[in-house]
């Protein structure tokens, strides 16, 4: 199975890259962003600060992705992406969430990375309904696998209920 769905703390995964559900400043936060920065150590924040701002206070616009080393993490790299804040579904949220997953894999390909683990992007603070997010995430990743079968993708959920939602979306592909 080239896409697996697990329940784990993403900061423990020894993969080529873990994906961070960040905000546009890339200067850390709570949730998985906070966990990744805590586990990676202060060097990660320093590396993020060195990434250029594309507009005042914005290093990574929503839907885009940026890559840094993983530092103290078991993962070699962190690919930071910024998911959409859920505002009811009529503000381009599905397209933006799809862009997150596509742009993460574009960066992974550019860097020759194969084993990538994603959290449930936007499903926490950003309020994206998990079943809707899971459908977008799995469909997008499945499409990318078609053109790059060497990828080994993991959806790393932080709870059993969330894993069940993403497993259902995978089974329904
Ligand atoms: N491992 C895996 N998943 C985790 C972990 C972890 N260690 N910690 C939290 N999660 C899960 C949450 O349970 C949720 O299902 O990650 C998913 C995404 O939730 P958030 O981290 O809140 O991310 P998001 O909804 O995209 O909101 C991003 O939150 O932390 C801030 O700086 C971040 O402003 C940004 C916003």
pTM metric for this prediction = 0.98
DSSP string of 40-59?
H-HHHHHHHHHSPPSBTTBS
Q: Which of ligand 1's atoms lies nearest the C-alpha of 21?
A: 26
Res. 103: pLDDT tops 80: yes
Q: Which of ligand 1's atoms lies nearest the C-alpha of 126?
A: 25
**CB count, 10 Å around CB of 156?**
25
Residues 6+ apart with CB under 8 A from 98: 136, 139, 140
> Six-digit token pair at 140?
């997008």
What's the pLDDT score for residue 87? 98
Q: What are phi and psi of 71, to 5 degrees?
A: 55, -120
> Strand ranges (DSSP E) for 95-137?
115-118
Res. 4: pLDDT tops 70: yes
33 labelled catalytic: yes
Q: Is 84 in the pocket of ligand 1 (CB under 6 A)?
A: no
Q: Which domains does the chain carry?
A: 2-171 (3.40.220.10)
Q: How many whole angstroms from 18 Cα to the centroid of ligand 1?
A: 13
> Six-digit token pair at 43?
């060097």
**Residue 42 backbone class (left: φ over 0; alpha: ψ -120 to 50; beta: rest):** alpha
Res. 1: pLDDT tops 70: no
Pocket test for ligand 1, best of 15, 119, 159 (most atoms within 8 A of CB): 119
Helix (H, G, I), strand (E, B) or coil at 21: strand
Give 25-83 pLDDT, tens digit per residue. Answer: 999 999 999 999 999 999 999 999 999 999 999 999 999 999 999 999 999 999 999 99
The mean per-residue pLDDT over the stretch 12-17 comes to 98
Helix (H, G, I), strand (E, B) or coil at 8: coil
- Catalytic residue, chosen from 16, 33, 148, 168, is 33
Lowest mean pLDDT among 68-77, 102-111, 140-149, 153-162: 140-149
Res. 14: pLDDT tops 90: yes
Give 120-149 pLDDT, tens digit per residue. Answer: 999 999 999 999 999 999 999 999 998 898
The mean per-residue pLDDT over the stretch 160-172 comes to 98
Q: How many whole angstroms from 155 Cα to the centroid of ligand 1?
A: 13
Pocket test for ligand 1, best of 31, 74, 100, 154 (most atoms within 8 A of CB): 31
């Amino acid at each position: 199975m080239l896409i697996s769905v697990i329940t784990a703390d993403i900061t423990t995964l020894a993969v080529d890259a873990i994906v961070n559900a960040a905000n546009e400043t890339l200067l850390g936060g709570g949730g998985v962003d906070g966990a990744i920065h805590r586990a990676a150590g202060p060097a990660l924040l320093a590396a993020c600060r060195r990434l250029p701002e594309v507009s005042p206070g914005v290093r990574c616009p929503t839907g885009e992705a940026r890559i840094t080393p993983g530092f103290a993490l078991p993962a070699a790299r962190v690919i930071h992406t910024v998911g959409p804040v859920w505002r009811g579904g009529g503000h381009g949220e599905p397209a933006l969430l799809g862009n997150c997953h596509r742009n993460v894999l574009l960066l992974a390909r550019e860097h020759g990375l194969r084993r990538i683990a994603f959290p449930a992007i936007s499903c926490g603070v950003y309020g994206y309904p998990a079943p809707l997010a899971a459908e977008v995430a799995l469909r997008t990743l499945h499409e990318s696998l078609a053109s790059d079968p060497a990828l080994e993708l993991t959806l790393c959920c932080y709870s059993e209920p969330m894993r069940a939602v993403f497993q259902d979306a995978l089974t329904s592909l």
